[in-house]
Amino acid sequence: MFWTFAVLFCLAALAFLLLPLMRDPQRSRQQAQLRALDRAREAGALDDSTWETRRAELSRATAGATRPPFVLIGLLALALPFTAAALYAKLGAPAALHSAAMSMTADGRPTEAADAAGNGAAPNMEQAIAGLAERLREAPDDLDGWLLLGRAYRATERFPQAAEALGQAYRLSPEDPDVLVEYAEAQALSSSTRRIEGQPLELLDKALSLQPEHQRGLWLRGVAAMQAGEPGVALTRWQKLRKLLASDAAAVASLDEQIAGARRAAGLPDSHGTEELASTEDDADSAADDAAATGSAPRLTVLIDVDDALKSQVGPSDVLFVFARAAEGPRMPLAIQRLPAGGFPRTVVLDDSQSMMQGMSLSTQPRIVVGARISKSGQAIPQSGDFEAISEPMDNTHSESIHLTISHVVP
Query: Total domain count for the chain?
Result: 3
What is the average pLDDT across 368-390? Answer: 90
Say whether both 237 and 146 belong to one domain. yes
Q: Could you tell me which residues come within 8 angstroms of residue 221 by beta carbon, excluding any fewer than 6 positions away?
A: 196, 204, 205, 208, 233, 237
Say whether both 125 and 80 belong to one domain. no
Coil, helix or strand at residue 101: coil
Q: Answer yes or no: is 285 within a domain.
A: no
What is the average pLDDT across 196-200? Answer: 91
Say whether both 107 and 212 belong to one domain. yes
Q: Answer yes or no: is 207 within a domain.
A: yes
- Please tell me the least confidently modeled range out of 7-11, 110-114, 333-337: 110-114
Q: Which whole-number Å values give the CA distances from 22 to 30, 35, 60, 165, in the listed order?
A: 16, 21, 21, 47
Q: Looking at 34, 61, 91, which one is the last position of a domain?
A: 91
Say whether both 322 and 221 belong to one domain. no
Q: Answer yes or no: is 254 within a domain.
A: no
Q: Looking at 56, 71, 91, which one is the last position of a domain?
A: 91
Say whether both 125 and 49 belong to one domain. no
Say whether both 84 and 110 belong to one domain. no
Q: Answer yes or no: is 253 within a domain.
A: no
Quote the pTM value: 0.43
**What pLDDT, in 10s, does the model give residues 267-292?**
776 534 334 433 433 443 443 344 44
Average pLDDT, the chain: 76
Structure confidence at residue 96 (pLDDT):
41
Domain containing 389 equals: 299-409
- Please tell me the least confidently modeled range out of 27-41, 64-78, 193-207, 355-369: 64-78
The span from the CA of 25 to the CA of 259, in Å, is 74
How large is the C-alpha radius of gyration of the chain? 30
Structure confidence at residue 214 (pLDDT):
93
Structure confidence at residue 389 (pLDDT):
96
Cβ-based burial of 260 (10 A; exposed 0-12, middle 13-18, buried ≥19): buried
Q: Contact at 8 Å (CB) between 129 and 96?
A: yes
Say whether both 122 and 238 belong to one domain. yes
Q: Answer yes or no: is 270 within a domain.
A: no
Angle at CA 236, nearest 5°, toward 235 and 238?
A: 65
- Please tell me the least confidently modeled range out of 118-122, 146-150, 199-203, 222-226: 118-122
Say whether both 82 and 111 belong to one domain. no
Spell out the long-range contacts of 120-129 with Cβ–Cβ below 8 A and sequence spacing 24 or more. 120/331, 121/95, 121/330, 121/331, 121/332, 122/381, 124/93, 124/95, 124/96, 125/93, 125/95, 125/96, 125/152, 125/156, 127/93, 128/93, 128/95, 128/96, 128/152, 129/96, 129/153, 129/156
Instruction: Give me the CATH number covering residue 224.
Output: 1.25.40.10
* Cα diameter, the chain: 108
Q: Are strands 299-306 and 402-406 parallel, antiparallel or unpaired?
A: parallel
Q: Looking at 180, 210, 244, which one is the last position of a domain?
A: 244
Instruction: Give me the half-sphere count of Cα atoms (radius 13 Å) on the Cβ side of residue 26.
Output: 11
What is the average pLDDT across 337-359? Answer: 81
Say whether both 83 and 114 belong to one domain. no
Q: Answer yes or no: is 96 within a domain.
A: no
Q: Answer yes or no: is 118 within a domain.
A: yes
- Amino acid of residue 117: A
Q: Answer yes or no: is 31 within a domain.
A: yes
User: How many of the other CB atoms lie within 10 Å of CB of 137?
Assistant: 7
Say whether both 87 and 109 belong to one domain. no
Q: Could you tell me which residues come within 8 angstroms of residue 167 by beta carbon, excluding any fewer than 6 positions away?
A: 183
What is the average pLDDT across 88-102? Answer: 43
The span from the CA of 26 to the CA of 38, in Å, is 19
Say whether both 138 and 222 belong to one domain. yes
Say whether both 30 and 116 belong to one domain. no
